[in-house]
Homo-oligomer: A and B are copies of this chain.
Amino acid sequence: MRPTFGTFDEAWAERLVGSRPRRGIDGFLGIVVTEVQPGRLVAEMDVTKDVITVMGTMHGGCLSAMCDHVLGVVMYPVMQPGYWAATTEFKINLLAPVTTGVCRATSEIVAMSKRMAVVRIEIENEGRLVALAQGTCTIVAPKAGPASRAE
């Protein structure tokens, strides 16, 4: 009961894997994609001292931002070229404090139509589930213009 995907841009998927963002919030967090399949993506981030608060645990905003990130990124390989995925909403449950190790997020498209997709994310750390999320991406078609005039 999972969607099938008419498009899978393997070149895009290959470019995603292993590339290390140098800037932006994903750069600050050091989020690196480690696996991409049609409708499924895995990414990791190290829990460095930069993200630990005075309480001694990782700031929850890091898991929220990681969810937001992988929720959109999983969409690109299965959309037609030029399309854009805008996260319009998501909900996250934070299950346990994180203090060390690696956070590993698995993002899976569980439903997809022409205009939107629903994505679920699980993040694990040190052998435990630490966050669960569910959200919606709106799929935005390329703007009409010289590049898309032939459509």
Contacts and interface: CB of A to CB of B under 8 A. Distances in A.
Interface range on chain A: under 10, 10 to 19, 20 to 34, or 35 or more? 35 or more
B69 A61 contact: yes
A101 to B, nearest CB: 14
Contacts of A9: none
Contacts of A60: 68, 72, 86-87
Specify which of A62, A64, A94, A132 lies most central, judged by the most chain B CB atoms within 10 Å of its CB: A64
Interface stretch (A34-42, A120-128, A141-149): A120-128
Contacts of A90: 64, 91-92
Contacts of A29: 25
Contact of A23 (B50, B97, B110, B133): B50
Contacts of A72: 60
Contacts of A7: none
Contacts of A136: 88-89, 93, 136
Interface of A: 1, 23-26, 28-29, 50-53, 55, 59-62, 64-69, 72, 84, 86-95, 97, 110-111, 116, 118, 120, 122, 124, 127-129, 132-134, 136
Given A25-B61, A64-B64, 18 more contacts: A1-B128, A23-B50, A24-B50, A25-B25, A61-B67, A64-B90, A87-B94, A88-B116, A88-B136, A90-B91, A91-B91, A93-B111, A93-B118, A93-B134, A95-B111, A110-B129, A111-B132, A134-B134
